[in-house]
């Protein structure tokens, strides 16, 4: 799937443009930004529309993150575990590139790709920061929004990354919830009172998802925030709409034609 770049083009105009380039594509049914590329005669990175930053390749399950965060224009957002910038760039697009996104990633090669993606998409307000999330400088400014895309077992993406099942041993998977809990604690420290923290994984393992969130809520001044209305465009089942109203949602690959994802939206209690 591809995500139309809100700063440069609408989805219908993107579909017209792709058609002119000989690409067979159609509107995605899960989000207002998604396009499914069905057939093309050249590598996607050779398309003029790609080079001009009219779209970004991203799974539809991942496109929900920016919609759930609802970043305020002019506000500060942290993207922790930013990778190559899929979610950072979407957040920036949603603010009209008028806010500030600090994209935290420990691997320098991913940050170089993130910078290249920002240049291609015409995004100026994403600041890359190379750091381990658990070793961030203590004097960083607090933000209105924090996204934590936590390292996980990756069970939700095995359909397209079959090698993921061999990357982690059973022992490593067993140790992940402790790491995820510590990362949530670090993310919480970056958030202003009344701000929103989105915890995200690409697994459907409850030990890494609901159980980590439940443990965090026992120790931190946060409450779960329902979000069904924020993603009313996504064709959730009745069961999943109810889960989203409670503030935690698992997208299962067998139920939806996208990556398996988990989202929990948490609001920091108190006022500035």
Sorted by where each begins, the domain ranges of the chain are 2-57, 64-268
> What is the per-residue pLDDT for 154?
79
Residues 16 and 35: beta-carbon distance below 8 Å: no
> What is the per-residue pLDDT for 160?
54
DSSP string, 179-204: HHHHHHHHHHTTEEEEEEEEEEES--
CATH number 3.40.50.150 given to 64-268: yes
CA angle 110, 207, 170 (to 5 degrees): 70
Strands of the chain, DSSP E: 2-4, 24-27, 34-39, 55-57, 76-80, 100-105, 126-130, 143-149, 191-201, 222-224, 248-251, 261-268
Distance from C-alpha of 115 to C-alpha of 158, rounded to nearest angstrom? 28
Residue 58's φ and ψ, nearest 5 degrees, are: -160, 145
> What is the per-residue pLDDT for 166?
45
Cβ-Cβ contacts under 8 Å for 157 (sequence gap 6 or more) = 164, 202, 259, 260
What are the mean pLDDT values of the chain's consecutive 10-residue runs (272 residues total)? Answer: 95 96 95 95 94 96 96 95 96 94 96 97 97 94 96 70 56 84 96 97 92 96 97 96 97 87 95 66
- N- to C-terminal Cα separation, the chain: 40
Number of helices and strands in the chain (H, E): 9, 12
Distance from C-alpha of 144 to C-alpha of 99, rounded to nearest angstrom? 11
> What is the per-residue pLDDT for 272?
61
> What is the per-residue pLDDT for 237?
96
Residues 106 and 131: beta-carbon distance below 8 Å: yes
Residues 251 and 156: beta-carbon distance below 8 Å: yes
> Is 248 assigned a catalytic role?
no
User: What separation in angstroms does the CA of 192 have from each of 95, 150, 184?
Assistant: 19, 20, 15
> What is the per-residue pLDDT for 165?
47
Which of the residues 118, 152, 202, 248 is marked catalytic? Answer: 202
> What is the per-residue pLDDT for 123?
97
Residues 64 and 43: beta-carbon distance below 8 Å: no
Closest of 99, 63, 102 to residue 187, by C-alpha: 102
CATH number for domain 2-57, candidates 3.30.70.260, 3.40.920.10, 3.30.70.1170, 3.60.40.10: 3.30.70.1170
């Amino acid at each position: 799937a591809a995500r139309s770049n809100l700063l440069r083009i609408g989805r219908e105009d993107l579909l017209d443009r792709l058609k002119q380039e000989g690409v067979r594509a159609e509107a995605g049914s899960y989000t207002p930004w998604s396009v499914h590329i069905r057939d093309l005669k050249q590598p996607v990175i050779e398309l003029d529309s790609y080079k001009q930053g009219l779209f970004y390749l991203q799974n539809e399950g991942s496109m929900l993150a920016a919609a759930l965060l609802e970043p305020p224009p002019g506000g500060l957002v942290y993207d922790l575990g930013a990778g190559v910038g899929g979610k950072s760039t979407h957040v920036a697009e949603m603010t009209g590139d008028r806010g500030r996104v600090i994209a935290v990633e420990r691997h320098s090669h991913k940050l170089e790709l993130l910078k290249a993606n920002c240049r291609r998409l015409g995004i100026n307000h994403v600041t890359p920061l190379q750091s381990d999330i658990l070793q961030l400088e203590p004097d960083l400014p607090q933000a209105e929004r924090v996204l934590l895309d936590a390292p996980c077992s990756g069970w939700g993406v095995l359909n397209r990354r079959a090698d993921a099942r061999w990357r982690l041993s059973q022992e490593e998977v067993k140790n992940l919830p402790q790491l995820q809990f510590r990362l949530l604690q670090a993310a919480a420290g970056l958030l202003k009172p009344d701000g929103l923290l989105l915890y995200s994984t690409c697994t459907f393992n409850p030990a890494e998802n609901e159980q980590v969130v439940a443990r965090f809520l026992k120790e931190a001044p946060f409450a779960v925030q329902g979000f069904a209305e924020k993603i009313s465009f996504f064709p959730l089942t009745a069961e999943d709409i109810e889960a989203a109203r409670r503030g935690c949602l698992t997208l299962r690959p067998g139920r939806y034609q996208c990556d398996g994802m988990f989202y929990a939206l948490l609001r920091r209690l108190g006022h500035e």
